[in-house]
């Protein structure tokens, strides 16, 4: 496949990985996706791409395995999207996951340095780095203060990426992603929990949904836009770190109002607030300043918050329809 750029994506079966794979395919890439389970297992978010991408497995904590992977596929770009963004996990479970969010990043960067230091690398970082931030909105210059094990582990991944860029001269970027949603969002996240509940309530499959703090606010964007931003980072003339965000916050209550209203329902009739579902250590208001990405990469969000919410509800309604509900 001489002349065709090859991208290696860890976490290709996730929300961001599936969108990134689509973007790269549109731009003529060969895609190698790394998955945790067997290659033959079902991966719903990428089933429509199975005949266009290659899947493989690799222990991301094994230096030799990573070097063999790079030598076999000869990627020109590596996107590390492998993470489990669930801060509500028990601390015991986050110990092992923390290794993949931190040490695995070091292993990948070192394997790239050994095998081919010209490979371009993008680390998917997170707004959880800011945590108890002293200021808002947060930009690339804002001091980090993570408030949960996930954020702490991802902070290591962020700084080791910066370190390899500055000490080894490698093209290594961190994409500091604020909350981003889509119809492919996991059902454990509040946005998808709401959109799926709306569809099921409309279908008569359930009566209510239990949520935590309805006034919690987040900077919510569209996952496809954020995947495009990561690709743009590796096309830039020089490596750098970028915040990707909308610059606006919305509450869970707003999300509910739009989602239920989209199907002609009032959220107050179906939402049960349970304060015990709040995160044990919540962050201060996180809202991103993405002016650098907009200026340097010409990156822009393309979907409004209202349209994003409606798209998620429509997708879950369509899914229920395929399963037999006709409205």
What is residue 255's three-state secondary structure? Answer: helix
- CA–CA dist 99, 102 (Å, integer): 5
Task: Tell me which of 6, 10, 126, 142 is the catalytic residue.
Answer: 126
The question of whether 140 is a catalytic residue gets the answer: no
Q: Which residue, chain included where needed, has tokens 């209202």?
A: 306
- CA–CA dist 300, 82 (Å, integer): 24
C-alpha to C-alpha distances, 64 to 26, 69, 99, 111, 113, nearest whole angstrom: 32, 9, 17, 8, 13
Residue closest to 299 by CA, chosen among 240, 245, 223, 241: 245
Going through the chain in order, the beta strands assigned E by DSSP cover: 6-10, 30-34, 54-56, 77-80, 120-126, 172-177, 180-181, 209-211, 217-218, 221-222, 242-244, 250-251, 271-273
For residues 93 and 150, the answer to whether their CB atoms sit within 8 Å is: no
Residue closest to 147 by CA, chosen among 159, 130, 160: 130
Structure tokens at 43: 């991966």
Task: Tell me which of 43, 150, 164, 267 is the catalytic residue.
Answer: 150
The question of whether 277 is a catalytic residue gets the answer: no
The question of whether 161 is a catalytic residue gets the answer: no
What is residue 159's three-state secondary structure? Answer: helix
Residues serving a catalytic function are 126, 128, 150
């Amino acid at each position: 496949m001489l002349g065709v750029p090859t991208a290696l994506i860890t976490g290709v079966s996730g929300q961001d990985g599936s969108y990134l794979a689509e973007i790269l395919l549109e731009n003529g890439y060969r895609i190698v996706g790394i998955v945790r389970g067997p290659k033959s297992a079902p991966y719903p978010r990428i089933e429509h791409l199975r005949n266009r991408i290659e899947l493989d497995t690799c222990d991301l904590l094994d230096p030799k395995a990573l070097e063999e992977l790079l030598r076999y596929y000869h990627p020109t770009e590596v996107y590390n999207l492998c993470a489990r963004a669930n801060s509500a996990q028990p601390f015991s479970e986050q110990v092992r996951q923390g290794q993949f969010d931190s040490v695995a990043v070091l292993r990948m960067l070192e394997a790239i340095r050994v095998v081919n230091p010209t490979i371009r690398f993008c680390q998917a970082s997170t707004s959880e780095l800011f945590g108890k931030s002293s200021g808002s909105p947060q930009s690339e210059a804002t001091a980090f203060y993570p408030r949960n094990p996930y954020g702490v582990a991802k902070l290591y991944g962020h700084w080791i990426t910066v370190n390899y860029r500055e000490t080894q001269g490698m093209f290594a970027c961190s994409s500091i992603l604020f909350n981003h949603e889509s119809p492919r969002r996991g059902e454990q996240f509040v946005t998808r929990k709401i959109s799926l509940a709306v569809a099921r309530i409309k279908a008569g499959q359930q009566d209510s949904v239990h949520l935590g703090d309805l006034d919690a606010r987040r900077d919510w964007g569209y996952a496809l836009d954020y995947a495009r931003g990561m690709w743009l980072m590796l096309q830039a003339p020089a490596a750098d770190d970028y915040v990707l965000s909308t610059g606006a916050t919305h509450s869970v209550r707003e999300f509910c109002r739009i989602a239920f209203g989209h199907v002609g329902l009032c959220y107050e009739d179906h939402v049960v607030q349970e304060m015990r579902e709040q995160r044990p250590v919540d962050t201060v208001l996180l809202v991103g300043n993405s002016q650098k990405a907009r200026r340097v990469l010409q990156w822009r969000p393309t979907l409004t918050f209202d349209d994003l919410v409606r798209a998620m509800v429509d997708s879950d309604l369509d899914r229920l329809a395929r399963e037999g509900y006709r409205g």
